[in-house]
Structure 1
Amino acid sequence: INFMVHKPKDVQVDIQPDKMILCCKNDSDDVIYNELYFYDKVLINDSRERVYDRTINVLLRKVKPDYSWPHLQKDPAKPSWISVDFDNWRDWEHEEDEGKEEYERYMDVKMSASNKGTAPDMGDLSDLVTSVVSCSPAELQREASGKKETVKGFNVKLLDTVLFPEGGGQPDDRGLIGGVPVLRVTRLGPDAVHFVASPVQVGQEVRVEVDWERRFDHMQQHSGQHLITAVAENLFGYRTTSWELGRQRSTIELDAPSVTPAQLRALEDSVNEKIRGHVPVNVQLLSVDDPAVEKVRSRGLPDDHAGPIRIIDIEGVDANMCCGTHVSNLSHLQVIKLLGTEKGKKNKTNLVFLVGNRVLRYAEKSYSTERSLVSLLKTGPDEHVEAVDKLQKSVKLLQKTNLSLLRDVAVLVAQNFKNNPQRGNFFSLHRKEGDNEFMSIIANEINTEETQLFLTVGEEKGPGLFLLAGPSGRVAEMGPRVLEMLQGKGAGKNGRFQGKANSLARRAEVEALLQQQHTAEGE
């Protein structure tokens, strides 16, 4: 087999009994990656490669020497990048004279090639030595603990990178550049822009390292999405219109108003059967004008696309245009769990799923939660739903009873004030338990046209609720000051001003201020 590559470098060839993987760069530093699954087995110890200026020549020795392969690949469909050179076709195993020169050349490759050693890791590269092209000051907007923050740092462009920028529904990689943490990777045309907190020197040679745990998680979820999407369309005709790779779970938006439980089970069974089938996942690079591009699943190319088109081919299942990172075999997905469906946009259904290690973590977390519930509810897992249902009904009954008692207490509080001959025209009350209705009942029972009320409920030094009631002019004047002192939010009209207080720590000060103002007006 001759791989036509101009001035190949960084050549890695991995010959296995059933396939061969080749990875290298050409003179333009384009990365070339090919996987060939053979029609039949080969002898790896008798198979060798040699690198030339314009080609990489590979000699494969079949396990069955007298058996002719009808085609090179396991899949009878020939990829567009493979062609047969019939001018040099020779059946060397049965010819003695014709083709002798070619045979000797390949025997020379076999005998003179150095020992292969350990097969290279031909999966997604986890690190790379490259050089810094540019480093410029920049800012990054991100969320931390639910709050947006601006981080000052630097945008770095490299000669090459193994860090994936966000795209195709997949989040970006994390990693290190020369030991400096990479906080974000984005795509700018054909370039990847790495945001780092500390500068790196332009022209410096640096090692780029991938956060492999994050990368592999994204690979599992993304390849899982391709598989689910393809099988859902093949089984039920449900097309995927979008998808999201979330931090804990992922969703696929299906162009279907609903998915039945039976369909969900059938879909889960089918995708896991293909995972157990050890189906290869191949990467193909096609030119834009290649007729094969029309046959693959695609949502279109971005406007700034440049270079060859990348196809993720799940053998016999799906071929999809994609820029993301993927596993090389479905067995690496381990398992897919479809958690259920949620109502999506108009006539759409969101399918919620987990893949691989996320399923394991979900099972571990679920078991831990289950054990905690056993301890709290004093029942077995099968009785948890029934036990919680009983508790909820009991809580609702208690809340109803408590509300009724609070109303009675509010009426009694108002009556006690009205029956007090020395009551005056100012009333203040604080209770830990209560709500807006509790305070409103008291205000309704007392004539607030003559009496000013200041009522609060909640923790003494913490957040709570407040109500200021009385003559309209006085309430309108004092309401904003009360709001400020209690660090709250609220509004008022018709002689009432109420709202939420972030802190009741200054309640005593507010009460003293109101009494002072009330006394001054009385004098």
Structure 2
Amino acid sequence: MPQITRLEDSQPAHALWFDRPKFVYVNFIVEDSKDVQVDIQETKLVFSCKSADDTNIYNEIHFYDKVQALDSRERRYDRTINVMLRKQKENVAWPRLTKDAGKPVWLSVDFDNWRDWEQEEDDGMAEYERYADMLQSMSKGGSAPKMDDLDDLDFTTSVVSCRPAELKIDNSGKKEKVKGFNIILKDTILFPEGGGQPDDQGVLNDVPVLRVTRQGADAVHFVTSPLEVGVEVQMKVDWERRFNHMQQHSGQHLITAIADSMFGFKTTSWELGRQRSVIELDTPSMEPGQVEALEKAVNEKIREQVPVSVKVVAVDDPSVEQVRSRGLPEDHTGPIRIIDIEGIDANMCCGTHVSNLSHLQAIKILGTEKGKKNKTNLIFLAGSRVLKYAERSYSVEKALTSLLKTGPEDHVEAVDKLQKSAKVLQKNNLNLLRDLAVLIAQNFKSNPNRGKLFCLHRKDGDSEFMNIIANEIGTEGTLIFLTVGDEKEAGLFLLAGPIEMVDTLGPRVAELLEGKGAGKRGRYQGKANKMGKRPEVEVLLHENIQHRSSEE
């Protein structure tokens, strides 16, 4: 692994990266840096940090294809940062990653690291898979805060039944089946999914529990290894995930109750998402002032440290009629569980909750959007998600301040000016390219020693640039082959000339460039995926012209 020298020496860090069928792993070293932030997005990685002299540095690595950002991970070990990217399209090789050339010199990609996993030997595969297993154990962020009133993070129980089963997993829109076992335990501390809340995650004797579902009165735990009936097992809950869900679910109860009492807006459904949560309100719209007032009211209740308690009552208990509910599931059995926010709300609920509103820390309503059937979706964050959101926002704010050389209050105006300037420059650049295309064509036509083949490649250009050249030269007696784009990436090509020649050679040109094209009236153009194979195309065209000349 190459190491970074100091920033003032302008030496980049070379990231090592490994392409696997389902994942791409990136590993790099930073030196004399602090406040390192890694933001995994669908199409790129955003890195930001401060150097030893407090210089703000911001970089981007653009992906070859899209990734599942929510299922990707990063972790920092001292100076080393490891990143695991989950591909949206599995079993598709990634031949490149690209650094944004316009960003400061801090990261670059070592393109020599890429290997074709489809051709690897067994030893090489095993080496990469060991690396993959290590990175898959990474997790984002630190530990969730511990709560004094929860003493059952570890729990001993026994196996009641173990049956072979299959679990369907949604992988980039494709349903995959995983073979394993459905385990029913004497008791459990893992919450089965339901009521708008995802299930808990945890382990049974160090075996990961991939899914917890409810079947009547039983919680069914799906694992990939069998457990003997009657044996005692040690269960542990993923507390960080559990506490996160507790904050979001209790936050939903609080928002729902206050929205009803303040404005009469009833909650018709809700969803606890991976990054944000959504409450569906039975109202066509909400005014900005109503959203602001609602956010202020719920945070006031959090500061008042209102207790939250759990009551378990029989189905025929009179108090059941006094609590908020959307009805019981058809397969419900046993007593009813009521979540009581003292003096604010009492609601039937099977989910996990905090024991005091102060544990919510804060609630941020991000806004509203139009829902279905004349309803409004209210989007919110609670607890640790608010802190992470603020941290990400501040990191972006610092990076923009460094790039735009303005304070946060001027960022929008500065970006607006940059966009307008970029449009003007783009328009001027296009005009210059058009003029250049005409000059190139005229220069060729004025050459008394010109041949019957004209070839040209430019990194900058577009289809219009190529068509202007072809129009100016004329295609009756000249075969024209033009390409635009980066030689190491995909680009565009145009083959123009006598109709018979173009119809014959066009598909062969596209095949050599490993691209696709279409032809019409003496022109065949399209996308080229292997720009570096242009010389082979030129040889083909030259030989074809010589052959036709000899026949004439």
TM over 0.5: yes
The yes-or-no answer on 1:164 pairing with 2:191 is: yes
Where does residue 363 of structure 2 map in the other structure? Answer: 336
Moved more, 363-372 or 168-177: 363-372
Where does residue 279 of structure 2 map in the other structure? Answer: 252
Residue 490 of structure 1 and its aligned partner are, at CA, apart by 4.2
Residue 137 of structure 1 and its aligned partner are, at CA, apart by 5.3
Where does residue 498 of structure 1 map in the other structure? Answer: 525
Residue 270 of structure 1 and its aligned partner are, at CA, apart by 0.8
Residues 439-461 of structure 1: CA deviation (Å, up to 9, x unaligned): 23223333335433322211112
Letter in 1 for 2:169: Q
In structure 2, the CA distance between the partners of 1:305 and 1:457, relative to structure 1 (3 Å rule), is farther
Distance in 2 (CA, whole Å) between partners of 1:396 and 1:247 is 37
In structure 2, the CA distance between the partners of 1:416 and 1:249, relative to structure 1 (3 Å rule), is same
In structure 2, the CA distance between the partners of 1:457 and 1:281, relative to structure 1 (3 Å rule), is same
Equivalent of 2:458 in 418, 431, 435: 431
Residue 243 of structure 1 and its aligned partner are, at CA, apart by 2.5
Equivalent of 1:377 in 397, 404, 407: 404
Where does residue 103 of structure 2 map in the other structure? Answer: none
Instruction: Tell me the number of residue pairs that the alignment of Structure 1 and Structure 2 aligns.
Output: 402
Residue 213 of structure 1 and its aligned partner are, at CA, apart by 0.5
In structure 2, the CA distance between the partners of 1:249 and 1:509, relative to structure 1 (3 Å rule), is same
Distance in 2 (CA, whole Å) between partners of 1:168 and 1:153 is 27
Residues 182-225 of structure 1: CA deviation (Å, up to 9, x unaligned): 23333344433333344444432111111101110011011111
Distance in 2 (CA, whole Å) between partners of 1:459 and 1:157 is 55
Residues 27-74 of structure 1: CA deviation (Å, up to 9, x unaligned): xxxxxxxxxxxxxxxxxxxxxxxxxxxxxxxxxxxxxxxxxxxxxxxx
SS of the equivalent of 1:394 reads: helix
SS of the equivalent of 2:365 reads: strand
Decide whether the 8 Å contact of 1:135 with 1:200 is kept in 2.
Answer: no
Residues 408-427 of structure 1: matches in 2 within 5 Å?
Answer: 408-427=435-454
Residues 246-395 of structure 1: matches in 2 within 5 Å?
Answer: 246-290=273-317, 292-345=319-372, 347-395=374-422
In structure 2, the CA distance between the partners of 1:438 and 1:207, relative to structure 1 (3 Å rule), is same
Residue 424 of structure 1 and its aligned partner are, at CA, apart by 3.3
Distance in 2 (CA, whole Å) between partners of 1:504 and 1:188 is 57
Residue 501 of structure 1 and its aligned partner are, at CA, apart by 2.9
Residue 150 of structure 1 and its aligned partner are, at CA, apart by 4.2
Identical aligned residues as a percent: 67
Distance in 2 (CA, whole Å) between partners of 1:253 and 1:482 is 55
Equivalent of 1:465 in 492, 509, 516: 492
Letter in 1 for 2:302: I
In structure 2, the CA distance between the partners of 1:229 and 1:458, relative to structure 1 (3 Å rule), is same
Letter in 2 for 1:462: E
Distance in 2 (CA, whole Å) between partners of 1:359 and 1:365 is 10
Distance in 2 (CA, whole Å) between partners of 1:471 and 1:280 is 84
Letter in 2 for 1:510: V
SS of the equivalent of 2:439 reads: helix
Unaligned residue ranges in structure 2 (runs of 5+)? 1-146
Equivalent of 1:155 in 149, 164, 181: 181
In structure 2, the CA distance between the partners of 1:166 and 1:470, relative to structure 1 (3 Å rule), is farther
Decide whether the 8 Å contact of 2:484 with 2:492 is kept in 1.
Answer: yes
SS of the equivalent of 2:542 reads: helix
Residue 266 of structure 1 and its aligned partner are, at CA, apart by 0.5
In structure 2, the CA distance between the partners of 1:351 and 1:497, relative to structure 1 (3 Å rule), is farther
SS of the equivalent of 2:448 reads: coil
SS of the equivalent of 2:241 reads: helix
SS of the equivalent of 1:429 reads: strand
Where does residue 127 of structure 1 map in the other structure? Answer: 154
Decide whether the 8 Å contact of 1:128 with 1:162 is kept in 2.
Answer: yes
Distance in 2 (CA, whole Å) between partners of 1:173 and 1:457 is 52
Residue 432 of structure 1 and its aligned partner are, at CA, apart by 0.6
Distance in 1 (CA, whole Å) between partners of 2:520 and 2:201 is 55
Distance in 2 (CA, whole Å) between partners of 1:480 and 1:306 is 68
Residue 180 of structure 1 and its aligned partner are, at CA, apart by 1.5
Where does residue 434 of structure 2 map in the other structure? Answer: 407
Distance in 2 (CA, whole Å) between partners of 1:306 and 1:492 is 68
Moved more, 248-257 or 452-461: 248-257
Residue 126 of structure 1 and its aligned partner are, at CA, apart by 2.1
Letter in 1 for 2:181: N
Decide whether the 8 Å contact of 2:201 with 2:209 is kept in 1.
Answer: yes
Equivalent of 1:138 in 163, 166, 174: 166
Letter in 2 for 1:255: D
Decide whether the 8 Å contact of 1:249 with 1:352 is kept in 2.
Answer: yes
Equivalent of 2:247 in 220, 238, 244: 220
Residues 342-375 of structure 1: CA deviation (Å, up to 9, x unaligned): 3434533332211111112222222222222222
Where does residue 191 of structure 1 map in the other structure? Answer: 218
Decide which structure has the larger Cα Rg and report it: 1
Distance in 2 (CA, whole Å) between partners of 1:304 and 1:521 is 81
Letter in 1 for 2:540: L
The yes-or-no answer on 1:453 pairing with 2:480 is: yes
Decide whether the 8 Å contact of 1:153 with 1:198 is kept in 2.
Answer: no
Decide whether the 8 Å contact of 2:258 with 2:294 is kept in 1.
Answer: yes
Distance in 2 (CA, whole Å) between partners of 1:445 and 1:297 is 76
Distance in 2 (CA, whole Å) between partners of 1:514 and 1:299 is 73
Distance in 2 (CA, whole Å) between partners of 1:286 and 1:370 is 50
Where does residue 34 of structure 2 map in the other structure? Answer: none
Residue 303 of structure 1 and its aligned partner are, at CA, apart by 3.9
Distance in 2 (CA, whole Å) between partners of 1:301 and 1:280 is 25
Decide whether the 8 Å contact of 1:186 with 1:192 is kept in 2.
Answer: yes
Distance in 2 (CA, whole Å) between partners of 1:395 and 1:155 is 58
In structure 2, the CA distance between the partners of 1:509 and 1:288, relative to structure 1 (3 Å rule), is farther
Distance in 1 (CA, whole Å) between partners of 2:493 and 2:277 is 44
Letter in 1 for 2:183: K
Residue 250 of structure 1 and its aligned partner are, at CA, apart by 2.0
Moved more, 328-337 or 238-247: 238-247
Distance in 2 (CA, whole Å) between partners of 1:204 and 1:424 is 86
In structure 2, the CA distance between the partners of 1:366 and 1:291, relative to structure 1 (3 Å rule), is same
What value does the CA root-mean-square deviation take over the aligned residues? 2.8
In structure 2, the CA distance between the partners of 1:202 and 1:518, relative to structure 1 (3 Å rule), is farther
Letter in 1 for 2:261: N
Equivalent of 2:233 in 206, 209, 212: 206
Decide whether the 8 Å contact of 2:204 with 2:236 is kept in 1.
Answer: yes
Distance in 2 (CA, whole Å) between partners of 1:348 and 1:471 is 61
SS of the equivalent of 1:298 reads: coil
Residue 329 of structure 1 and its aligned partner are, at CA, apart by 1.7
Residue 333 of structure 1 and its aligned partner are, at CA, apart by 0.6
